[in-house]
Structure 1
Amino acid sequence: MKKGVLYLFLLSINFLIGQEISPKKTIEDFFVAFHKKDTIVLRTISHKEIVLQTIAKTKEGNNKVLTENYTNFLKSIIAIPVEMKFEEKLLDYTVQIDGLLAHVWTPYEFYINDKLSHKGVNSFTLVKEADTWKIVHIIDTRHK
């Protein structure tokens, strides 16, 4: 009888642990919503004070950090024409976690109408709220 109770206890612990959303799963959900242009889900998995940035080169060849308003980013997603196919293919995931802080590094290739537009790396910073990871910062690079 004791073995049966212990087995059920361990099984329920395993189930509860499996229910926690991982940082990688949050990023996967982000891109599913991104490709579906589902701004409601994108807002749900993002922290209310999210920062969105891109590292770019100026015409003079200098590095520049561009910051975009997240609401404007979401509006730009909605404005993508229906006939335009876009896909950001994530090539790998590197996940680091320390308590309530996580970092996810994802090299990517971005395609428009099945043609490579650019590639680079996304760097996501996430914070844990209850059992959910929220994206608080996204910064990326873009190379032709």
Structure 2
Amino acid sequence: MPHRTIPFALVGIDHVVFLIDDMPRALAFYRDVLGCAPGYSYPAMGMEQVWAGAALIVLWDTTHPGADVAVPSVAGGRNVDHVCVATSPFDPDALRAHLARHGVTILREAVHGGARGMGHSFYIRDPFGNTLEIKGPADYPDGRATRSPS
């Protein structure tokens, strides 16, 4: 197979679009639970964006008249499996307590690989059923284990 030149270099995730049906509730979750900052606003489309570090999470309200093309996939289907939000180091106990204070159920905890190496992850859902992975940085940038083998 001939080698082809790709005319761009990947940098990272720019944004993810979630279809939601209650904008105030969505904004409260992303602001109060994840600490996202307000981003761009498109009121004519029923769309708000929030900053998750250097990337955007786009919240598109399917109940808004300007969101006529924001249609979820087949009934009961989903458009996104999960989005991983890279974070600074965190204390797992403090994060568990924070999520509990907001009534957020932890679906799963894991230590596994990602773009930044092996790190601690919490899987949760936003109020609309979208799964988020909150992932701390790697123990070491190259993903090495923190303890030596016995």
TM-score by length of 2: 0.25
Q: TM-score, normalised by structure 1?
A: 0.26
Higher relative contact order (CA 8 A, sep 6+): 1
User: Higher helix fraction: Structure 1 or Structure 2?
Assistant: 1
Question: Larger strand proportion, structure 1 or 2?
Answer: 1
